[in-house]
Amino acid sequence: MIPTVFGAGALVFFLMRIIPGDICLTRWVDFGTDLSPDTLNFCRQELGLDKPILNQLWEFFRKTFTLDFGVSMWTGNDMSEEIKLRLALSFQLAFMALSLTILTAVPLGVVAAYYKGRWQDYIIQVLSITGVAIPSFWLGIMVLVGILIITQKLTGSPWMPPIIFVSPFENILNNLSQLIIPAIVIALRYIAITQRMTRSAILEILREDYVLNARAYGLNEFSIMNRYVLRNSSLPIITVLGNEFAFLIGGLVITEQVFNLNGKGALLLQSVENADYIVTQNLVVLLALIFATINIIIDLYLCLFRSACEVQLGFFAPRERFDEKYQRQS
C-alpha cells in the first residue's frame, strides 16, 4: 500500500509541473491585472514554487503524511475542511449507489443463472446489455430533462434537486432529494456489470462436482443455492463490488458535473484546471490511499472467508470431503 501511495503522489507531483499552466499567472490574469515580473516572483515565493523541485517534493510528502493538507493555492481555503465536506458527499453517493447495486444485481444474477436459457434469463441479459451500453452522463441528462418537463406539467413550475449538500443527520429529506436520483443513475451501469459477473460466477459453481453430489443426495435447491453456490460464488462478486466502490468515491467527475454535485471528482477537476498543485496532489494521494485500503480489506476478507470455508467441509472441497460431511449430517 505504501509504495502505491508514494508512487501516485510522486507521479501527480511531476505531472502537474510538466503540463502547461502557472497558478500565479492564472490567479492574476483572471482578475485582469497586468502582471509584473516582481509580482510573479513574489507569488511564486509565497507558494513555495521558487524552491528546488526535490525540496518541494519532500515538503509535499512531509505535510501529506502528517495530515497537514495546507491551503488551496487558488482560493486560500483550508484544505482539511474542503476535503472533509467533499468526501462526505462522495462517500454517501458511492454507498447509496453500491447498496442499490447489491440489492438489485445479485438477485437478478441468481435468477438469470438459475433459469439459464429461458425467457427470464433473456430478459435480464437484454436489460444488462442496455445498462452497460448507455453512458451514465447521457442518462443523467435525460433524467433531469424528464424531471423538468414532468414537474412543469404537474405543478406549473420546474423542479430540480438541491445544489447545496446537507448532511443526512441535519435534514434527511433534503439530503435524499439531492442524491437519490444521481445514485440511481450511477447504479444502473454497475447493476448491469455486477449482474453479469454474478450470473457467470454462479453458473461456474453450478457445474462443480460437489453441487452435483448435493443434488444426487437429494438436497433441495434452496439449500444447495444458499449453502454451497452463493457462498462459493461470492468471492469474485465481492472483489468486483469492492473495486466499484473504490472507483465510485473518486471517479464520478462527469456525473457530478451533470448533477452539479460538489464532490471529490468536481474538486479534482477544478484544481487541475486552475493548476492548483496543493489540491490536486492531496486529492490524488487520498484517493490512492482509499483505493489501496479498500483492496487490502477485500483481500483480507477473501483470505479469512476462504480459511473459514476450508474449516467447514463442503466449500472448496473435493467429493470425498463432501460425502464425509453429508454422512455426518445424516
State the amino acid at position 326 in one-letter form: Y
Judge whether residue 39 has pLDDT over 80: no
Judge whether residue 311 has pLDDT over 80: no
- Residue of 85, 129, 141 lying closest to 254 (CA atoms): 141
What is the pLDDT at residue 34?
A: 61
What is the pLDDT at residue 123?
A: 93
Distance of CA 313 to the CA centre of its chain: 35
User: In 3-state terms, what secondary structure has residue 71?
Assistant: strand
Judge whether residue 315 has pLDDT over 50: no
Judge whether residue 321 has pLDDT over 60: no
Domains and CATH numbers, the chain: 79-329 (1.10.3720.10)
pTM for this prediction: 0.78
Mean pLDDT of 162-185: 86
Task: Yes or no: say if 44 and 56 are a contact pair by the CB < 8 Å rule.
Answer: no
Mean pLDDT of 205-212: 81
Judge whether residue 326 has pLDDT over 60: no
pLDDT in tens, 61-74: 888 778 777 777 77
- Residue of 312, 317, 316 lying closest to 329 (CA atoms): 312
Residue-averaged pLDDT of the chain: 80
Task: Yes or no: say if 323 and 213 are a contact pair by the CB < 8 Å rule.
Answer: yes
Judge whether residue 178 has pLDDT over 50: yes
- Residue of 53, 27, 24, 51 lying closest to 40 (CA atoms): 24
Mean pLDDT of 112-131: 89
- Higher-confidence residue of 227 and 112: namely 112
Alpha helical stretches, state H, 65-163: 79-114, 119-133, 136-155
